[in-house]
Amino acid sequence: MKDNRKKELLRSLKFLVFSVSAGVIEIAAFSLLNEFSGWSYWHCYLIALILSVLWNFTLNRRYTFQSANNIPAAMVKVAAFYCVFTPVSTILGNYLAEGIGWNEYLVTALNMVANFVLEFLYDRFFVFRDSMDTNSVAKKKGK
């Protein structure tokens, strides 16, 4: 039981590290677009979010959840999450940033925190639930 808790703590820490790296990509892309494109908040946010999701999915599938599941099937599940999260966070973020004047970077940071928590739970208990620790990385550790 103690080994399982240690494994889950390590999995959570890996997800955190990869999410932070995805967050760096997201905030860098958002900042560049926000400062230099002249586009509205939602255009900048949406492009930055897509870039970070692709990065985060790739790393977390391979190293955090160590899943050998069908990549397209896992991507469809993650896409379903973002079919809900993206419109809600984009509309709410646009309302907060452009509708009532909140700072765009504060709004983006709040969206990133919500994304981190919700996506970890969704990935852990739905997307990779039955395929964790099945890929070549996990098998090498098992030797």
The pLDDT of residue 50: 93
Residue 134 sits at φ, ψ, to 5 deg, of -120, -5
Whole-prediction pTM:
0.82
- Residues in the chain where the model's pLDDT stays below 50: none
The pLDDT of residue 72: 92
The pLDDT of residue 143: 52
The pLDDT of residue 112: 87
